[in-house]
Amino acid sequence: MVEVIAIGEILIDMIADMPAKPLEVQTTFKRFAGGAPANFAVGVRHLGLSSGMITKVGDDFFGNFLIKTLETETVEISQVKITSEYKTALAFVGLDENRNPSFSFYRSPCADIMLTPEEISEEYIKSAKLLMCGTVSMADEPARSAIFKAIDYAKKHGLQVACDPNLRDDLWHNKDPREHIFKVLKDTDIFLPSISEAEFITQEKGEKAFESILELGPSIVGITRGAEGATILTKNGIFSAPSYKVDVVDTTGAGDAFAAGLITGLLTKMPLKEIPYFANAVSALKITRKGAMNVPSRQEVEDFMNQ
């Protein structure tokens, strides 16, 4: 059915119009579709892979907008559930002087948290090549159990499992998320943390953090370093690439765009040494545009790299 499935949150990003101003002084916001797994699903679709989304939205105008957005982006939506009991989640987003985002979430409870294990289709998952998950929806039940159910089906049927931790401290209700992350890592083939997330998870610094993650289960670790570029680690080698210099508009979703580029590179058999350059280019072009789903096409990325 589809090559790549993403599971987790889809939500509304309300991005403030005035950069470099705190959220409390903002008066106008623009609506964008968001949520890391959904951003990823759209990103790989733009880069030429087929993708589908497992999530739940509210039976409200925000939920309808998100479903129509996925349809427009030709992301497969048969596993997007709709509930009249809970609203679609919101995130208010402010951008600092460097166009880096800060978030204020309105999602407890919300629709994607209420995705249940019984709503996960084994038949749907077994037809794909890769399952991507994150940890935002994993912060609460029953979505956490639903995601682990999806991972169980993926491993049963030989899919690769990828995870982008996307840690947001305030969503974990003052609880340590590492217990659940360690559980995910045991069944994860590709792990995609930022350098700060890797250090938090392992309680190690620098290269020791990366080596510790490889020992926990994944065969590939993709580390994003912001303006310093990115690194892909395997047990057989380390492959790094610098970042591209661009005029930054909005870094919301930059990590999701990088993940889309990395997974696309892997699934299309791109040489490992080339993948960090490709993934960095996807992320670089994304941050020249506002909105987390505004990911470039494969042709745009190739033209950019040729320049």
**Is 298:47 a contact under the CB 8 Å cutoff?**
yes
**Is 108:174 a contact under the CB 8 Å cutoff?**
no
Segment 274-284, tens digit of pLDDT: 999 999 999 99
Q: What is the pLDDT of residue 106?
A: 92
Q: What is the pLDDT of residue 167?
A: 84
- Provide the pLDDT confidence category of residue 231 given band limits of 50, 70 and 90: very high
- Provide the pLDDT confidence category of residue 12 given band limits of 50, 70 and 90: very high
Which carries the bigger pLDDT value, residue 182 or residue 225? 182
Alpha-carbon gap, residue 38 to 7, rounded angstroms: 8
Domain residue ranges of the chain, discontinuous segments joined by +: 4-8+36-61+75-84+115-306
Q: What is the pLDDT of residue 169?
A: 74
Please compute the mean of the pLDDT values over residues 26-35 and round it to a whole number.
94
The model's pTM is 0.95
Q: Looking at domain 4-8+36-61+75-84+115-306, which CATH architecture does it have? A: 3-Layer(aba) Sandwich (3.40)
For the cut 90, the answer to whether the pLDDT of residue 295 exceeds it is yes
**Strands ordered across the beta sheet of 101-106:** 29-34, 11-16, 90-95, 101-106
Of 34-43, 131-140, 155-164, 205-214, the poorest mean pLDDT is in 205-214
Which carries the bigger pLDDT value, residue 50 or residue 178? 50
First to last CA, the chain: 36
Alpha-carbon gap, residue 115 to 205, rounded angstroms: 35
Q: What is the pLDDT of residue 208?
A: 86
* Highest mean pLDDT (candidates 20-24, 68-72, 169-173): 68-72
- Provide the pLDDT confidence category of residue 46 given band limits of 50, 70 and 90: very high
- Provide the pLDDT confidence category of residue 157 given band limits of 50, 70 and 90: very high
Average pLDDT in the chain: 94
- Provide the pLDDT confidence category of residue 57 given band limits of 50, 70 and 90: very high
- Provide the pLDDT confidence category of residue 176 given band limits of 50, 70 and 90: confident
Segment 105-139, tens digit of pLDDT: 998 789 999 999 999 999 999 999 999 999 999 99
